Each structure stands twice: as structure tokens, then as C-alpha cells.
Amino acid sequence: MVQITSPAFKQNAARALADAGLQKALGKAKGAFLQRRAEAVARLPEFEQLRDIGRDIKNHTLANLDFYLETFAANVERAGGKVHWCSTAEDARAAVLEICRQAGARTVTKGKSMISEEIGINDHLEKHGITPVETDLGEYIIQLRKEHPSHIIAPAFHLNREDWEADFRRMHTDLPADRVFNERRDILAEARTKLRQRFIAADVGITGANFLIAETGSSVIVTNEGNGDLTQTLPRVHIALASIEKVVPTLEDATSLLRLLARSATGQDFSVYTTFSTGARRPGDLDGPEEYHVVLLDNGRTNMIGSEFQEMLRCIRCAACMNHCPVYGVTGGHAYGWVYPGPMGAVLTPSLIGVDKAGHLPNASTFCGKCESVCPVKIPLPKMMRHWREREFERHLTPAGVRRGLGVWAWFAKRPGAYRLATKTAIGALSLLARGKGAFRSLPLAGGWTKGRDLPAPEPGGTFMARYAKMQRGR
Amino acid sequence: MSKDAILGAIRRGLKRGPLPADQRAMLDGRLATHPRHLIPQRSRVSRPEQVALFVRNVEKEFGSVTRVADAKDIPGAVADYLAAQNLAPRFVLAPNPELQELPWSDKPMLEFEARRAQPSDAVSVQHGYAAIAETGTLMLPSDPARPTTLNILAETEIVVLRASRIAGAYEEAWDLLRAERTDAVTGGFMPRNVMLVTGPSRSADIEQTLELGAHGPRRLHIVLLDDDPAARSADDPTARSANDPAAPPTP
């Protein structure tokens, strides 16, 4: 189970900044995602229009969520599947365990699923004598390391190649100790061989779901490796874990969202495997599971409906927001202290575990707005982080120092003359100290800021108001 | 019960009770008509260009394509591909009448069994139901004659596809499935499983660097049968030009 360390975000972040291995991995990884997404978007001129369509599909679905969930469930059952409605993580754990017990399961293979992290199913199964085996390459090494994913689509975002090699040598002790990993593909090949046996031996396969389709009663998974398909095809029983907001009305709706998903996530035009599962094996079929279950999880999401956080339920978990986030880019995902990191985590986590525990996360933002500008379903993430800051303030959860600071700022903000004088003085002093340099690497009294990042020096020419006044005069 | 609790909580959040009958009817109508949204222009081209777009996209995604003019050339194309890849001429074949009828005996060195795939199978030859030019994607619905295991277990998957089955956009491929298939269990059109496959298996989990050959096939090869006169290459004088570039392929 993921231990909640969100209340210690500041300490987590400080540790992350001092972790050379993590900084190396983050530095290498983030540029790749940004560039590939930008290229994929450039290849599809309709991308911006599709974002509006994606937003509208999700809004329509959320406004009629009860109807579409009931329709989905009825169609799953028509196809010989079973839907397990679960209000809490505990309900979902119990439902999965019961299905596994009924199946007499000893090992369970798993496709990548963030809901599985959210409900902590691996620990629960292990506690009851069932061995869960993660099969997504990134999730596999995370399980070997007894860690949790640091990114929602690239679980091992925080690791370097050396880590992979060391962990494989440590864990795969049946292989020759002096084997050589010349290329990344040698690591991949070893994982493929190791997991092959697991796929074949598993009694139950557990996957997540990127979408549920009401029209057909299907669950959809999107992967590049093919592990999800092996997981849901070979064992006798398939369980799809999905939260309630994953449902969309029709195949056409899912198709429009799929045009956004891979481009926003990995910068591919389409992922390698997009698979629609509908019920159990049909008469005459030569393969496929004999049982099909959907575990449908609420776990706090219904509380977001009708609140200022309802729009967060549009999220399709592409990770574009964290890939583009300057805070995530230096702290990595583990600092956020629970399942969902980055801007989407900063909004979702307080909704699901409480702002008392996760109040730091919506504060861990520069409000640069990049997350909203790349979100494929146009979730106003900064606005919602602001809502959380307000709630935190109202509930007096904000630390005294911050409250005092806000008080001082408010005093000036309400007195424009004093405000302008103060900013003019500060900018003058900073310009003097900067001596023509673009940024400060360190600054007296601002060590808390400059320890983890540079402070930009003021541009020459004075405050905005001073320059604006000058421009007006020049007309 | 959790179902009622969840539905009740949703309705409380939406500040309403269960939807009234007229609104339910409207939503049922939306499901029944399943309206399309915007379809990108990239696939709104003539038939020969759609086929060319499909081939280009498959190759961009690290798959490969051999085009054959006649069905009788398919066994030869399979044999040549396996030889070129230095693979043993042995495979599992989808138990599909269209594939089983091919003149395999012309290439006696080819050994195959028609069945589902086993973990020991190195090569599979699958039947392509349809394809989508927009992204070079194959549509492979499960069926007694098109087992899912052929798409995932072998290291090399060869898919035999008719050019007449290449649609421009995903929506057109869904419409083929809607028009052609009736499921014995549900009475609907969805089979147990539909895989949309775009290139061979890969992973970028190690330092976000793409490597081919994760858990699924390392190689994806398509033998494309040019059975569609309207879809022959644009510089082929016998090719009929498509009057309606947006027309879906004939089922």
C-alpha cells in the first residue's frame, strides 16, 4: 500500500533535489516526452479542435454519469461479465480477493493500473497468500525494488539504466552473474524471458482500464508492450479495475479521446495496442478468459461531482501535465507522497485523501499554466489548485508564516501607492545586486528559494507600471 | 448496496434524481446513433492514397509491408519474408477459411498448424479483418477463426490483409464491424476482444528511450493483397480514380 507522505512534501522535495541519481534521470527523461508530444501535435492540425471535443464528451458523460454507468453495467452483464460496484478501496480489495479465491488463484499477473496502486491490491493479495506479478516493464522493476511508480505512465521515470542492471543482477540470481548488458534491449530481453513464464502460469489477470464504453460494455486498455494483452488473454479469469469516471458513451466517443491520449502521453500518433474487451470467451473461441469482471471504484470521486473539482474527473491520465511541469521536473513523482503526482495529482490527491494531508501539493505550483495549456481535455488545473489553496486557508491549515506573509502582501495590495513604492524599491535593489546578470544563484534572505532554483533578476526598465506609464507618455 | 450508494451520490452531486424518461430516451438515442465527431483530414484522400498512407504509417511505426497482386502469391510472400529474416519456415496459422484455402502446397518447405497460438510458437500468420490508414493500424477482432493469442505470443506476427479492407479513419472500421458482425451471446456486434495494433511491441520504460520487442511480437509484417481496383497505386493507369474521396471501403 502506498504510505501517504504528502504532508512531508517539503522534506520529500528537498531530498529529491539532493538526489543526484534522480536529478540525472529527470534531466534525461523529460525532454524526450516534450519533444515527442510537440511533434505529434504538429502532425495533426485538428489537435486543438479535438481538445474541445474531448472536453465536451467528458462533460456530457459526467452530467449523465449515473445513466452511462448503469448502461455500461447492463451491457457487461449481457456479454456474460460481472460488475462489482465498490464505494471504497476496501470494498475493491475485498471484491478482487474474492474473485481470486473463487478461481483458486495462486499467482496473478497484472497490467499497469493506477487504480491498483490507489487500492493497494498487491499487498492485500500477498497478505492472503496470492502472488501478484507486475508485467509492465516499468512496474516490474518497481515491484522488484519494492517502490511505487513515480509517474502515471512511466513508472520507472526516476531510474537510470545502471539501476535496472543492478536490480536485475540482484534479483535474477539464476542467470549467470557475469552476463553483459550492452544495450537497453538486453535488459528488455531479460525481462521478456522472465515474465513469459509468469504469464503462462497465472490463474488470474488484472488490468486497469483507460476507458469503459457504455454502448458495448467494453473495457479498453492502451499499451505499447503487449503485457496487458497477455495478462487479460492467457489466464482463466480477467479482472479490469476502473474508476467510475472512465466511462464514455460510445466507440466514437472513445475514438476521439484516443486520438488525444497517445499524442499527449508519449507523443505517439497511436499506441501499439489499443484493446477492447467485452465479456468472457464466446462459444467456439479458442482463447480468452472464461470469466470477465469489472471492479468499478468510487473511492471519493462522487464527492467531486457538483463541486468546483468536478472538471478533474475529465482526466484521461495521459501525464502531459506532469511532463510539462517545472515542479515535477525537479522533484520527480515520489515527493508528492501518494499515488498521483504532478499537477493532476496536486488537484486529485486532496480530493481523495483530504486537503489536511495533501495541502502542500496545490501549493507546489508556480502557476505557470503550462499544465492547462497541454491538457488534452482542457482541465483548468491552476484554477483548481487555487480552489484548494482557498479551502486550505479557510480551514486554517495554512502555516502561520504563510498567513502572516499573505497579510503583509494584502496590506500593500490594498494600497496601490505603497505597493508601487515597495516594488520599485525592491526592483531597484535587485537590479543593483544583479549587476547585469540574468538570474541569481543565491541571494541573502532568499536561500529557501535559491537552494533549488535560480531567481530571475528584474529586466531593466523598472516595474510594469513604470514601463506602462512611460509607454503612454511616449504615444 | 454499493451500486445504489454510488448512483445516489452521483445524483446528489448533480442535484437531481434519476433522469426523467424523456432525457433517458434522448441518451438512448445518442447511443443508438453513436454520432461521429471530427475526423482528421489526413485520411480523407483517394483510395490509392489511403492505401499508401496506411503503408507509410505502418513503416513509420516499425512494421513492414509486402504487396502482392494475387492471393496465390501470399504463401510465397510469407516464405520469402521468413527466409529474409532468417527464421525457420514454421508457423501457427489462424484457422480462417480465407487463409486455409491459400495454395500453401506451392511452398512445401512451409510447415504450419491451424489453431490458437502456444508460447512455443515463434511465428504466427493472422487474418487481418480491417485496417485504418490514419495511423497504420490493424483491426483484429477475436473470433474462432482469428484467435487473440496469434497477436501476442509469437515473436513474429505476419498479418494477411486485403487492401479493400483498409479504411481511412477508425470510425469507418467500427462501422464495418457494426455492419458485418452479430455476436452469438449479446446480439450486438462486439466480439470478446478487438485489438487495434499499430506496429510491433515496444517499451520506453528504460530511460524513456524506445526499444522494440517488449512482451508482444518483435516483428510485425503485413502481406497486403491488392484486391481493390480502386485502391491500386495512383500511377497505375488501370486504376480507377475514386470519385468520393471520403467514401468508406466497400465491405
Radius of gyration of chain B (CA): 21
Which among B144, B197, B200 is the nearest to A286, CB-wise? Answer: B144
For residue A1, the model assigns a pLDDT of 65
Nearest CA in chain A to B197: A273
Those of residues 195-234 in B touching chain A at CB distance below 8 A are 195-209, 211-217
Q: For residues B118-139, give the mean pLDDT.
A: 97
The answer to whether the CB atoms of A274 and B195 lie below 8 A apart is yes
- The alpha-helical segments, DSSP class H, found in B127-167 are none
For residue B246, the model assigns a pLDDT of 45
The answer to whether the CB atoms of B2 and A87 lie below 8 A apart is yes
| Distance of alpha carbon A419 from alpha carbon A230, whole angstroms | 63
Chosen for mutation from B113, B135, B205 (greatest number of chain A CBs closer than 10 Å) is B205
| Residues of chain B with C-beta less than 8 angstroms from the C-beta of A25 | 207
| Residues of chain B with C-beta less than 8 angstroms from the C-beta of A33 | 208
pLDDT at B178 over 70: yes
| Residues of chain A with C-beta less than 8 angstroms from the C-beta of B116 | 286-287
Nearest CA in chain A to B208: A29
Nearest CA in chain A to B170: A255
The answer to whether the CB atoms of B192 and A280 lie below 8 A apart is yes
A412-430 as b/e: b if 16+ CB within 10 A: eeeeeeebbeebeeebeeb
In this structure, what are the phi and psi dihedrals at residue A410, rounded to the nearest 5 degrees? -60, -40
| Distance of alpha carbon B188 from alpha carbon B181, whole angstroms | 8
- Segments making up each domain of chain A, as ranges: 6-301, 415-474
| Residues of chain A with C-beta less than 8 angstroms from the C-beta of B144 | 282, 284-286
| Distance of alpha carbon A309 from alpha carbon A465, whole angstroms | 35
Q: How many Cβ pairs within 8 Å bridge chains A and B? A: 287
Looking at CA atoms only, how far is residue B115 from chain A in angstroms? 8
| Distance of alpha carbon A151 from alpha carbon A138, whole angstroms | 10
- For residue A266, give Cα distances in angstroms to A39, A137, A271, A312, B63: 11, 16, 8, 21, 19
pTM above 0.80, yes or no: yes
Average pLDDT along chain A, 475 residues, taken 10 residues at a time: 89 94 88 92 98 98 98 98 98 98 97 97 97 96 95 94 94 92 91 93 98 98 97 98 98 98 97 98 97 98 97 98 95 96 97 94 94 98 96 86 89 90 85 79 76 78 83 83
The answer to whether the CB atoms of B2 and A91 lie below 8 A apart is yes
| Residues of chain A with C-beta less than 8 angstroms from the C-beta of B212 | 185
The answer to whether the CB atoms of B27 and A67 lie below 8 A apart is yes
- Who wins on pLDDT, B241 or A196? A196
The answer to whether the CB atoms of B209 and A25 lie below 8 A apart is no
The answer to whether the CB atoms of B215 and A227 lie below 8 A apart is yes
Least Cα distance to B93 among B65, B82, B59 occurs for: B82
| Residues of chain B with C-beta less than 8 angstroms from the C-beta of A68 | 27
pLDDT at B115 over 90: yes
The answer to whether the CB atoms of A270 and B137 lie below 8 A apart is yes
Residue B42 in contact with partner chain A when CB distance is under 8 A? yes
In this structure, what are the phi and psi dihedrals at residue B116, rounded to the nearest 5 degrees? -75, 165
DSSP A8: G
pLDDT at B202 over 50: yes
Q: For residues B19-44, give the mean pLDDT.
A: 98
Nearest CA in chain B to A183: B211
For residue B244, the model assigns a pLDDT of 44
| Distance of alpha carbon B36 from alpha carbon B44, whole angstroms | 15
Those of residues 110-169 in B touching chain A at CB distance below 8 A are 115-117, 119, 135, 137, 142-144, 147-149, 151-153
| Residues of chain A with C-beta less than 8 angstroms from the C-beta of B142 | 282, 285, 287-288
List the end-to-end C-alpha distance of chain A, in Å, as a whole number.
Answer: 64
Task: Residues B45-231: name the CATH superfamily.
Answer: NagB/RpiA/CoA transferase-like (3.40.50.10420)
Q: For residues B155-171, give the mean pLDDT.
A: 98
Which among B144, B174, B211 is the nearest to A251, CB-wise? Answer: B174
Nearest CA in chain B to A86: B2
- Segments making up each domain of chain B, as ranges: 45-231
Residues 6+ apart with CB under 8 A from B51: B133, B163, B166, B224, B228, B231, B233
For residue B242, the model assigns a pLDDT of 42
The answer to whether the CB atoms of A278 and B186 lie below 8 A apart is yes
The number of CA neighbours under 13 Å toward the Cβ of A37 is 22
Cell numbers of A138, please? 516499468
Residue B30 in contact with partner chain A when CB distance is under 8 A? yes
Three-state secondary structure call for residue B198: coil
The answer to whether the CB atoms of A279 and B18 lie below 8 A apart is no
Those of residues 231-250 in B touching chain A at CB distance below 8 A are none
Cell numbers of A163, please? 539501476
Domain A6-301 has CATH 3.40.50.10420: yes
For residue B189, the model assigns a pLDDT of 97
Residue B38 in contact with partner chain A when CB distance is under 8 A? yes
Looking at CA atoms only, how far is residue A199 from chain B in angstroms? 10
Nearest CA in chain A to B3: A85
Name the average pLDDT for chain B. 93
The answer to whether the CB atoms of A138 and B205 lie below 8 A apart is yes
pLDDT at B194 over 80: yes
| Residues of chain B with C-beta less than 8 angstroms from the C-beta of A64 | 19, 23, 27
C-alpha dihedral, B22 to B27 to B31 to B34, nearest 10° = 110
Which among B19, B135, B213 is the nearest to A185, CB-wise? Answer: B213
For residue B237, the model assigns a pLDDT of 44
pLDDT at B247 over 60: no
ipTM for this prediction? 0.93
The answer to whether the CB atoms of A226 and B216 lie below 8 A apart is yes
